[in-house]
Structure 1
Amino acid sequence: MMRQDVVLLDRATDAETGLMEKLEAHRLGRYHSAISLLIFDGAGRQLVQRRAAGKYHGGGLWANACCSHPLPGESVADAAVRRAREELGIAPSLRPAGTIRYRAPVPAAAEPDGRLIEHEHVSLFVGRHDGPVEPHPEESDATEWLERAALLAAIGAGGFVPWFALYMRTLPERPDDWRAEADYGYFDLM
């Protein structure tokens, strides 16, 4: 498997400080850059995916449409477009929807203590897609379109990654109210 690096950031300034191999960054809980896509269809339903069982963390849990990391030297906007295509086989219209920062434990069956630590500065993107979704089997083993009430009930019942539950508790209810310049804060869920 090819080495995958994440872009490390300074927690106080969000300035880039270097690179680290992705799994090691999650083992150590190092603060790094990430992206998350929240995709809606024309009926206002939100796309969720169940992470493939073989994922390095959060396997089998439900999440937002797409979450990943920009490559070194890649803009977060370019990473969002790339990962929508790679993970879901889609090319949604996307716009920046603000940032959120958090630290949270995430289940990781292959790790000795059964968890990894997400410590991320997330650039959020909201988009629209009407049409088929073709998830890559190494990324996702199921997708669903859910109306907000059903989605909130499902999150309340469990089985979702902690970052998506945080997004749904923190972001304004209407995606039209999500703004590129919005900073939704820092949350320590440890």
Structure 2
Amino acid sequence: MEQVVLLAEDGSAIGVEDKAVVHHADTPLHLAFSSYVFDSSGNTVLTRRALHKKTFPGLWTNTCCGHPAPGEDIARAVVRRLRDELGMAVSAPELLLPSFRYRAEMDGIVENEMCPVFRVLTDDDPAPNPDEVDSTERVAWSKFAADVLDGTREISPWSRLQVAELVKLGPDPLDWPVADRAGLPKAVVSSPLQ
């Protein structure tokens, strides 16, 4: 049974809960991550969430989201989910937004997460797992970001908020600085990937 790490307001771990039951109308604050895969040309891979998912079905979003298991290194969790959802072999994730947090609701189901954001590099083509991903699209970051910010591209609420923060890092996603890990929530288990 997949579990998520429950968080206090200061980002420290206060327990675990089964992922299958944690998301509802009053979802407790928990630990997650988001990742954006970029190829060597600076394009990003977007995914459309599977239509049968409990939370935010059918929504277009960033490349991959997920939850580190209790005691799991968060960077390893990013790699695991990219492999499981998209079949992609990737470089070591690079931390971009260590303290990103959001709350969003759709059809009475709430997401409530401290959700560090990572950049991942690969030229691999995705091979979507239909249990997780309906479809994918590779787009130029500059066009994607502009369309999200001016409202012409529909995207998940968390990705819209993340894009607004990511564009502050500069126009070229391959040149964005790696963030200080000290900004991560206290509950994050993290060590550099070898």
TM-score by length of 2: 0.82
Amino acid at match of 1:148: W
Structure 1 residues not aligned, in runs of 5+: 108-113, 185-190
Percent identity (aligned): 33
Partner of residue 159 from structure 1, selected from 141, 154, 158? 154
Partner of residue 21 from structure 2, selected from 18, 21, 24? 24
Partner of residue 15 from structure 1, selected from 4, 12, 15? 12
Higher deviation after alignment, 32-41 or 95-104: 95-104
- Which residue number in structure 1 is paired with residue 126 of structure 2? 133
How many residues are treated as equivalent by the alignment? 176
d(CA) in 2 for partners of 1:149, 1:98 = 18
Q: Are residue 73 (structure 1) and residue 71 (structure 2) matched?
A: yes
Change (3 A) 1:53 1:24: same
Higher deviation after alignment, 144-153 or 78-87: 144-153
Other structure's SS at 2:23 match:
helix
d(CA) in 2 for partners of 1:23, 1:104 = 18
Deviations along 1:12-54, one digit per CA (max 9) or x if unpaired, are: 2x11110012243321221111111111111111110011101
8 Å contact kept, 1:100–1:122: yes
In the TM superposition, structure 1's runs of 4+ consecutive aligned residues that sit over 3 Å from their partners are: none
d(CA) in 2 for partners of 1:75, 1:123 = 13
8 Å contact kept, 1:39–1:126: yes
RMSD of equivalent CA atoms: 2.1
Higher deviation after alignment, 17-26 or 54-63: 17-26
- Which residue number in structure 1 is paired with residue 139 of structure 2? 146
TM-score by length of 1: 0.84
d(CA) in 1 for partners of 2:16, 2:47 = 28
Structure 2 residues not aligned, in runs of 5+: 185-194
8 Å contact kept, 1:98–1:178: no
Other structure's SS at 1:46 match:
strand
- Which residue number in structure 1 is paired with residue 34 of structure 2? 36
Amino acid at match of 2:135: A
8 Å contact kept, 1:7–1:72: yes
Amino acid at match of 2:22: A
8 Å contact kept, 2:104–2:158: no
d(CA) in 2 for partners of 1:178, 1:118 = 28
Other structure's SS at 2:14 match:
strand
Other structure's SS at 1:78 match:
helix
8 Å contact kept, 1:57–1:115: no
